[in-house]
């Protein structure tokens, strides 16, 4: 038994068992504990599902497991290796949501990696989940790396969002240190520092690396770590690549640098894009560099969208030597490379585009125009009304008229958003809203929306009963 136990990978062996042991997620712990104690005391919270999000390896799943133990819940786990089609969700989650636990206070339904629900193979799964959430008698918890994925949009409004932070290097090191002690391993502090640094806050990756070195050599030294972990040196790799491009002595050197780079093409181009002005200064140099990059991007899109992968080679010509030899006039600047803003901003970019999309959808069916007309003609007007109206009750009333979400109001109103939302809530509270508002004006759309939930409810009841009898 003991021998066998030893063969369990460390990432499982050392996974946190108690809430205490989950490192550095105090805010997330607080939110989740409050939410779960409500369930435990029999009061269902307003949002009956929670979505835990954050980078990989920061303890999302572990925390749920620990909480379940601590609060005495059963745990039902579904992950990406299970089918999650509409049918599968109905059969598993649908049943569990209305079941009484045999032991303990209830069942936590854990849907791991909800962003991994496949669009085709798991068709309808998310929709099914959306139907179950507002009705469930047991807490549903989901995890995701990227909650801004398009397919998760309808989910976001209906769940408690709990963010998990990236771990700091020191925290990762702390954990590694403890493992070394438990395994009675000889570990150099500098080696642990390197492992932690390269893991970029992914604790699981760090533990894996530690194990990879320890398993092979029985000790963990800086030299060994350096030799073995070269593959993870992403950041230093990109800096080396950039240096080789900007300071190349010959065309082939620059070309080799970009060809051998570990980064995928898009990321590499994002790095170059942001760092050209940190190295070049003369407008002519800048223009030539950007034109080369722009041509490269054109070749890449042709390669990707038309499947002409043989054209990739020209991408490398243009982002390697093409950048190097764009500099003809000025000297090279000494500024340090910066992390590409575009990558940092990707999530918020995706978020804002999605809000725009959902607004377009909402308004298009009401105004009888296409989504692109809404985006290009209507939204700017709405933004003007929301940002510059003399009397903010007016936009507030539009918020109610189109049932806009907070995200959407934020997009339309900018820094006026809070005020408008408050006003809208006040209006909603103080004035009695007629059952069928503005019958004359708003004909089909609102009525459809009103009808829909009723129908859903009936369906669901039927289904629940079926489940009990099957």
Partner 1 sequence: MSTAFDILWVEKYRPRSLDEIVNQEEIVNRLKTFVKNKNMPHLLFAGPAGTGKTTAAHALAHDLYGEYYRQYMLELNASDERGIGVIREKVKEFARSRTPPDIPFKIILLDEADNMTADAQQALRRLMELYSVSTRFILIANYPSKIIDPIQSRCAFFRFQPLKKDDVVARLKYIADNEGVEYDPEALETIYEISEGDMRKAINVLQAAAALGKVTVETVFKVVGMAKPKEVRQMIKTALNGDFTGARALLRKLMIEYGLSGEDIVKQIHREIFSNEIDIPEDLRILIADYIGEIHFRLVEGSDDDIQLSALLAWMSLVGRKLGVSG
> Which of 31/88 has CB closer to partner 1?
88
Q: How many residues bind partner 1 (CB under 8 A)?
A: 138
Stretch that binds partner 1, among 41-49, 281-289, 449-457, 459-467 (CB under 8 A): 281-289
> Which of 332/367 has CB closer to partner 1?
367
Tokens found for residue 69:
């133990």
Closest approach, Cβ 452 to partner 1, in A, equals 14
The pattern of x and - marking residues 412 through 451 that bind partner 1 according to CB under 8 A reads: --x------------xx--x-xx--xx--xxxx-------
Residue 314, classed as helix, strand or coil, is helix
DSSP assignment letter at 405: -
Q: Which of residues 285-314 bind partner 1 (CB under 8 A)?
A: 286-287, 289-295, 297-302, 304-306, 308, 310-311, 313-314
Closest approach, Cβ 110 to partner 1, in A, equals 12
Q: Which of residues 64-123 bind partner 1 (CB under 8 A)?
A: 79-83, 112-113, 115-116, 118-121
Residue 23 makes contact with partner 1 by CB under 8 A: no
Closest approach, Cβ 52 to partner 1, in A, equals 14
Residue 211 makes contact with partner 1 by CB under 8 A: yes
Q: Which of residues 367-406 bind partner 1 (CB under 8 A)?
A: 367-373, 375-378, 380-385, 387-391, 394-395, 397-398, 400-402
Distances (CA, A) of 459 to 97, 127, 128, 131, 234: 16, 14, 12, 10, 52
Contacts 24+ apart (CB under 8 A), 440-446: 442/366, 442/401, 445/365, 445/366
Widest CA span of the chain, in angstroms? 81
Considering only 20, 266, 419, 422, the residue that binds partner 1 (CB under 8 A) is 266
Residue 44 makes contact with partner 1 by CB under 8 A: no
> How far is Cα 65 from Cα 161, in angstroms, rounded to an integer?
18
Residue 8 makes contact with partner 1 by CB under 8 A: yes
Q: Which of residues 181-200 bind partner 1 (CB under 8 A)?
A: 199
- Strand partners for 76: 109
Closest approach, Cβ 426 to partner 1, in A, equals 10
Distances (CA, A) of 35 to 29, 67, 113, 267, 377: 10, 11, 20, 39, 42
Closest approach, Cβ 398 to partner 1, in A, equals 5
In 74-134, where does DSSP find H-type helix? 86-89, 95-96, 125-132
Closest by Cα among 63, 137, 66 to 98: 137
Closest approach, Cβ 138 to partner 1, in A, equals 22
Q: Which of residues 143-182 bind partner 1 (CB under 8 A)?
A: 145
Closest by Cα among 24, 326, 68 to 163: 24
> How far is Cα 114 from Cα 155, in angstroms, rounded to an integer?
10
Residue 358 makes contact with partner 1 by CB under 8 A: no
> How far is Cα 161 from Cα 53, in angstroms, rounded to an integer?
8
Closest approach, Cβ 277 to partner 1, in A, equals 5
């Amino acid at each position: 038994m003991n021998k066998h136990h030893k063969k369990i990978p460390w990432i499982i062996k050392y996974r946190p068992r108690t809430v205490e042991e989950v490192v550095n997620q105090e805010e997330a712990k607080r939110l989740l504990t409050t939410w779960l104690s409500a369930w435990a005391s029999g009061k269902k919270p307003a949002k009956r599902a929670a979505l835990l999000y954050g980078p990989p390896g920061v303890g999302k799943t572990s925390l749920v497991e620990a909480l379940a133990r601590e609060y005495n819940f059963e745990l039902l786990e579904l992950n990406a290796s299970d089918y999650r089609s509409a049918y599968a969700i109905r059969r598993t989650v649908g049943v569990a949501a209305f079941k009484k636990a045999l032991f303990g206070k209830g069942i936590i339904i854990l849907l791991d990696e909800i962003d991994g629900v496949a669009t085709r193979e798991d068709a309808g799964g998310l929709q099914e989940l959306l139907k179950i959430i507002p009705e469930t008698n047991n807490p549903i918890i989901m995890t995701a790396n990227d909650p801004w994925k398009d397919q998760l949009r309808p989910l976001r409004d209906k769940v408690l969002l709990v963010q998990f932070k990236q771990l700091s290097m020191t925290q990762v090191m702390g954990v590694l240190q403890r493992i070394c002690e438990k395994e009675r391993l000889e570990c150099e502090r500098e080696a642990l520092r390197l492992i932690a640094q390269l893991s970029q806050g992914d604790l699981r990756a760090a533990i894996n690396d530690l194990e990879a070195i320890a398993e092979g050599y029985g000790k963990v030294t800086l030299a060994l770590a350096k030799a073995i972990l070269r593959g993870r040196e992403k950041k230093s790799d990109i800096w080396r690549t950039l240096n080789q491009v900007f300071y190349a002595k010959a065309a082939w050197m620059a070309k080799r640098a970009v060809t051998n780079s570990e980064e995928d093409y898009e990321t590499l181009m994002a790095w170059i894009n942001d760092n050209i002005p940190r190295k070049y200064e003369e407008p002519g140099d800048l223009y030539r560099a950007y034109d080369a990059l722009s041509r490269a991007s054109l070749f890449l899109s042709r390669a990707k969208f038309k499947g002409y992968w043989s054209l990739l080679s020209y991408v490398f010509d243009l982002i390697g030597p093409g950048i190097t030899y764009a500099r003809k006039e000025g000297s090279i600047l000494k500024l340090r490379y910066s992390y590409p803003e575009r990558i940092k901003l990707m999530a918020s970019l995706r978020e804002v585009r999605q809000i725009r999309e959902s607004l377009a959808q909402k308004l298009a069916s009401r105004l009888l125009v296409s989504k692109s007309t809404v985006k290009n003609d209507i939204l700017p007007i709405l933004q003007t009304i929301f940002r510059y109206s003399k009397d903010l009750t007016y936009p507030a009333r539009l918020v109610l008229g189109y049932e806009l979400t907070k995200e959407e109001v934020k997009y339309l109103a900018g820094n006026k958003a809070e005020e408008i939302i408050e006003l809208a809530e006040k209006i909603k509270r103080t004035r009695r809203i007629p059952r069928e508002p503005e019958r004359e004006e708003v004909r089909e759309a609102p009525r459809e929306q009103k009808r829909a939930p009723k129908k859903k409810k009936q369906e669901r009841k039927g289904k629940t009963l079926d489940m009990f009898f099957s």
